[in-house]
């Protein structure tokens, strides 16, 4: 077992992209030397190990950013979390490009023949270049008069990111509350939540009349502030501390909740998010969020 010395207040986790590489003893020893850590513990053979270590500011070594650069070219993600409250009792997750592999509004636009125009606005919004709510209104307005049936066509393009069901179902099986909170639309979140097993889901509502989209979104708008408020509400309702919560997302509209959650993890995130959030999953899958909490692969609940 890993050393539980009081000086080892944190845990470094290495996770390899199983489709591209495997962890080697050399990788593990390099990480252990970097953080002056304890003997490694295998969480998944060739895929994930954890190393108990001092707090990052106590390392006689480069910071976590430097460690990440060392391993990035090997297809390995590096996460560092406090050992206390490691297994979270609440998960709040973004949907588009996090739980699912696509941007659902962009997919609707593609079927409408205006994909590139809307995708560019999405890109700028998710990177924090333009304000979320105005970008949402601008994009949805371009859908005015289009048939609601486009949503069903876009749904056929939606695919879960690897590990989404394992993440949600494993955390629920161990007593965590799970919520899907999206700046997208309830048409999609309700279906994704059911497939993954989320306890609840929240998103925006596309308005329609006589089978056609009005180009408007129902109020109130669910944006960055609303995501944070849902996180705070769920913490309070569960009698939890913010340290008990994990949040994950990829865009600038996720930053508010990523900043305050006990474990805020940027998932294949936009540059603006990667610049601010230190714990990042850049090359691997949502399984990494379980390894970050110390789950062994044998504990995963698979579909």
CATH number at residue 80: 3.30.70
Residue 148 belongs to a domain: no
Tell me: do 200 and 227 sit in the same domain.
yes
Residue 40 belongs to a domain: yes
Query: Token digits for 200?
Result: 């609840």
Q: How many domains does the chain have?
A: 2
Q: Give the CATH number, domain containing residue 234.
A: 3.40.50.1000
Residue 2 belongs to a domain: yes
Q: Which residues contact 262 (CB under 8 A, 6 or more apart)?
A: 85, 88, 241, 242, 243, 244, 245, 246
Q: What is the DSSP string of 26-49?
A: HHHHHHHHHHT----EEEETTTEE
Tens place of pLDDT for every residue, the chain, 303 residues? 445 555 899 999 999 999 899 999 999 999 998 888 999 999 999 999 999 998 887 665 556 667 777 888 889 999 999 999 999 999 999 999 999 999 898 888 898 888 888 888 888 888 888 888 888 898 898 889 999 999 999 999 999 999 999 999 999 999 999 999 999 999 999 999 999 999 999 999 999 999 999 999 999 999 889 999 999 999 999 999 999 999 999 999 999 999 999 999 999 999 999 999 999 999 999 999 999 999 999 999 998
pLDDT digits (tens, 9 = 90+) for 118-156: 888 888 888 888 888 888 898 898 889 999 999 999 999
Tell me: do 91 and 233 sit in the same domain.
yes
| pTM recorded for the entire structure | 0.92
Tell me: do 234 and 267 sit in the same domain.
yes
> Active-site residue numbers?
94, 96
Provide the 8-state DSSP code for 268.
S
Can you give the pLDDT at residue 265?
A: 98
Q: How far apart are CA 139 and CA 130, in angstroms?
A: 12
Q: How far apart are CA 163 and CA 43, in angstroms?
A: 15
The long-range contacts involving 218-222, CB below 8 angstroms and separated by at least 24 positions, are 221/133, 221/136, 222/181, 222/182, 222/183
Average pLDDT, the chain: 92
Task: Give the closest residue to 227 by CA, choosing from 261, 177, 265.
Answer: 261
Tell me: do 203 and 277 sit in the same domain.
yes
């Amino acid at each position: 077992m890993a050393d539980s010395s009081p000086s080892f207040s944190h845990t470094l986790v290495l996770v390899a992209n199983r489709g591209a590489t495997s962890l080697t003893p050399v990788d593990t020893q390099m990480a252990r030397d970097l953080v002056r850590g304890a003997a490694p513990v295998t969480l998944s053979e060739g895929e994930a190990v954890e190393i108990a270590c001092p707090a990052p500011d106590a390392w006689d070594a480069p910071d976590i950013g430097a460690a990440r650069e060392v391993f990035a070219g090997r297809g390995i993600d590096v996460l560092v979390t406090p050992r206390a409250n490691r297994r979270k009792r609440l998960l709040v997750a973004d949907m588009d490009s996090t739980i699912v592999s696509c941007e659902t509004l962009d997919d609707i636009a593609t079927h409408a023949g205006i994909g590139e125009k809307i995708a560019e606005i999405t890109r700028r919004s998710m990177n924090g270049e333009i304000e979320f709510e105005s970008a949402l209104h601008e994009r949805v307005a371009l859908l005015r008069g289009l048939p609601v049936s486009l949503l069903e066509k876009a749904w056929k393009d939606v695919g879960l990111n690897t590990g989404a069901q394992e993440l949600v179902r494993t955390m629920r099986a161990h007593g965590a509350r799970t919520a899907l909170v999206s700046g997208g639309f309830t048409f999609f979140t309700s279906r994704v939540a059911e497939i993954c097993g989320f306890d609840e889901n929240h998103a925006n509502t596309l308005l329609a009349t006589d089978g056609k989209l009005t180009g408007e979104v129902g109020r109130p708008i669910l944006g960055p502030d609303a995501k944070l408020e849902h996180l705070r509400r769920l913490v309070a309702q569960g009698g939890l501390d913010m340290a008990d919560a994990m949040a994950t997302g990829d865009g600038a509209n996720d930053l508010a909740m990523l900043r305050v959650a006990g474990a805020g993890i940027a998932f294949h995130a936009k540059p603006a998010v990667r610049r601010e959030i230190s714990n990042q999953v850049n090359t691997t899958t949502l399984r990494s969020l379980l390894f970050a909490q110390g789950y062994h692969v044998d504990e995963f609940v698979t579909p």
